[in-house]
């Protein structure tokens, strides 16, 4: 049995819904369909979710949301018209939206969640109606009735353990189930949405609860690329990667899907298949627990800029028990999360995202480290990029570092930092931001291009 999730662009129009229908019926294993709200039809289009947020904000300042309300109904109506669906579905959606707009606004965040969630919820009803009209035995599933219980955290709901037991019962249903993504219900019966990519989360939860054999995630790309296509023109596609590889890659720049969303599938060992609604014949990318290691040590390269480092030196630092821990405590006091801590004998650097900092904070941090830890030197360095080179194949492949560092040297890139050894499937290079693209190109050439020697 497969859980199939479709993203917003796959559901943006009647034409897209026809593709979705064809995909669902082409494989009898596709029993549960998780849907997003209608996305963009063309680059300047507005997503239904964004319209809903605007609409909710108007209501909260007591403005008339009629314009937004009409625009929303118009989006559903356009799809319904394209697919010649009966008028009832639109009046049902309209009634639902009206009820939500009149709901309790004493908790503004909860009200926004209630509105936002309607995008997926009403779209699921519309998709189910469409499937039925096409003669499929299909049904909309109400997440409340199905038992998708979550914590009462607006915009960041967490699934509750009992939800898995409740949702498992959906296996007894014989129809194709159309399940709205993005939200669940608190024990008190209120709607709360997940964090970004919330429909991916719903799909992963269902795949786990229903013990699916596969979680198919339909989006609008043929596959995950081995490197950012804005750096390398038409890079190699990744056919299969492990969860670990995806995590390492997602860290810096890989945004095909929000990796945290896959946790429930990952925990249950269910493979995820990323496919293209617009080109379902394409192989796509499978994310698996383990893979055969046949195609070289490196599967992908990710990079991201906007990092800085705090360099702290103190003579005889390495004899001081607790120095590193105290340094991290100070950063924690400022609410900073850090990425890496390369260390020498008498020095320690902390790499972190620089958007967490400003000049004022930096001054305070330097002061505290100097006074509390009696550090000799505390220096901020800005504008660093991190490059992750990832692949299960490098686990015991002698010489991968030599190849990567030689490629960087040939491209005249100075390596500011190397962090390698904890994860066996990645090596990380820190370089200056100005060197980032040159560095990524050099590593890609080394591992992916058939370079004549």
Q: Residues interacting with a copy of itself, by CB under 8 A? A: 244, 247-248, 251, 260, 263, 266-267, 311, 315-316, 318-322, 324-325, 328-329, 332, 335-349, 396, 398-399, 401-402, 405-406, 408-409, 412-423, 425-428, 430
Give whichever of 234 and 319 is closer to a copy of itself, judged by the CB atom: 319
User: Can you tell me whether residue 116 is helix, strand or coil?
Assistant: helix
The DSSP bridge pattern shows strands 347-353 and 300-313 to be antiparallel
Q: How far is the CB of 453 from a copy of itself (least distance, A)?
A: 15
Give whichever of 160 and 411 is closer to a copy of itself, judged by the CB atom: 411
User: Can you tell me whether residue 420 is helix, strand or coil?
Assistant: strand
Question: What are 153's two structure tokens?
Answer: 């955290």
Question: What are 360's two structure tokens?
Answer: 């004022």
Question: What are 391's two structure tokens?
Answer: 């692949």
Give whichever of 84 and 402 is closer to a copy of itself, judged by the CB atom: 402
Question: What are 371's two structure tokens?
Answer: 């006074």
The beta strand positions in 122-248, using DSSP E, are 138-140, 176-180, 183-185, 191-193, 214-219, 224-225, 237-238, 240-242
Give whichever of 29 and 377 is closer to a copy of itself, judged by the CB atom: 377
Q: How far is the CB of 442 from a copy of itself (least distance, A)?
A: 11
CB 417 within 8 A of CB 342: yes
CB 216 within 8 A of CB 5: yes
Q: How far is the CB of 234 from a copy of itself (least distance, A)?
A: 27
Phi, psi of 327 (to 5 degrees): -60, -45
- Closest to 182 in 3D by CA, of 52, 34, 21: 34
Q: How far is the CB of 184 from a copy of itself (least distance, A)?
A: 20
Whole-angstrom distance, CA of residue 140 vs CA of residue 207: 17
Q: How far is the CB of 393 from a copy of itself (least distance, A)?
A: 14
Q: How far is the CB of 34 from a copy of itself (least distance, A)?
A: 22
Give whichever of 6 and 243 is closer to a copy of itself, judged by the CB atom: 243
Q: How far is the CB of 138 from a copy of itself (least distance, A)?
A: 34
Cα 247 to chain centroid, rounded: 10
**Sign of dihedral through CA atoms 107, 108, 109, 110?**
positive
Give whichever of 336 and 357 is closer to a copy of itself, judged by the CB atom: 336
Q: What 8-state DSSP symbol labels residue 446? A: H
Q: How far is the CB of 440 from a copy of itself (least distance, A)?
A: 17
Give whichever of 117 and 312 is closer to a copy of itself, judged by the CB atom: 312
Give whichever of 56 and 327 is closer to a copy of itself, judged by the CB atom: 327
112 CB neighbour count, 10 Å cutoff: 21
Whole-angstrom distance, CA of residue 373 vs CA of residue 53: 47
Give whichever of 129 and 384 is closer to a copy of itself, judged by the CB atom: 384
Q: How far is the CB of 422 from a copy of itself (least distance, A)?
A: 4
The DSSP bridge pattern shows strands 30-35 and 176-180 to be parallel
Question: What are 326's two structure tokens?
Answer: 């105290």
């Amino acid at each position: 049995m497969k859980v199939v999730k479709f993203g917003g662009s796959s559901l943006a129009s009647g034409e897209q819904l026809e593709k979705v229908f064809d995909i669902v019926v082409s494989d009898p294993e596709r029993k549960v369909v998780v849907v997003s709200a209608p996305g963009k039809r063309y680059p300047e289009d507005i997503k239904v979710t964004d319209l809903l947020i605007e609409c909710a904000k108007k209501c909260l300042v007591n403005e008339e949301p009629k314009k937004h309300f009409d625009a929303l109904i118009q989006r559903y109506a356009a799809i319904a018209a394209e697919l010649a669906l009966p008028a009832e579905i639109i009046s049902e959606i309209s009634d639902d939206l009206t009820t939500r707009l009149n709901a309790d606004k004493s908790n503004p965040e909860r009200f926004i969640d209630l509105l936002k969630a309607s995008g997926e919820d009403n779209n699921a009803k519309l998709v189910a109606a469409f499937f039925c009209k096409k003669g499929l035995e299909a049904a909309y599933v109400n997440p409340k009735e199905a038992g998708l219980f979550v914590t009462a955290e607006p915009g960041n709901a967490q699934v509750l353990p009992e939800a898995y037991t409740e949702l498992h019962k959906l296996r007894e249903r014989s129809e194709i189930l159309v399940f709205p993504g993005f939200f669940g219900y608190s024990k008190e019966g209120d709607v709360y949405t997940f964090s970004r990519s919330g429909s991916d989360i719903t799909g992963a939860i269902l795949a786990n609860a229903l013990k699916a054999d596969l979680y198919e995630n339909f989006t609008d790309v043929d596959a995950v690329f081995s490197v950012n296509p804005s750096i390398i023109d038409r890079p190699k596609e990744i056919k299969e990667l492990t969860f670990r590889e995806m995590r390492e890659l997602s860290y810096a720049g890989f945004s095909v899907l929000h990796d945290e969303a896959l946790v429930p599938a990952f925990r249950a060992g269910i493979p995820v298949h990323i496919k293209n609604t617009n080109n379902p014949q394409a192989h796509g990318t499978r994310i698996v627990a383990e893979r055969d290691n046949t195609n070289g040590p490196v599967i992908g390269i990710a990079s991201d800029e906007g990092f800085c480092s705090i360099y702290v030196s103190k003579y005889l630092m390495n004899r001081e028990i607790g120095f590193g821990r105290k340094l991290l405590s100070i950063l924690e006091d400022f609410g900073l999360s850090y990425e890496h801590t390369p260390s020498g004998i008498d020095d320690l650097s902390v790499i972190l995202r620089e958007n967490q900092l400003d000049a004022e904070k930096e001054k305070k941090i330097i002061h505290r480290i100097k006074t509390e830890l009696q550090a000799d030197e505390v220096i901020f360095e800005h504008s660093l990029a991190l490059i992750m080179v990832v692949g299960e194949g490098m686990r015991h492949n002698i010489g991968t570092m030599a190849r990567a560092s030689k490629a960087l040297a040939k491209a005249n890139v100075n390596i500011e930092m190397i962090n390698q050894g904890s994860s066996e499937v990645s090596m990380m290079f820190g370089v200056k931001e100005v060197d980032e693209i040159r560095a990524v190109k050099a590593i890609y050439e080394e591992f992916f291009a058939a370079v004549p020697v």
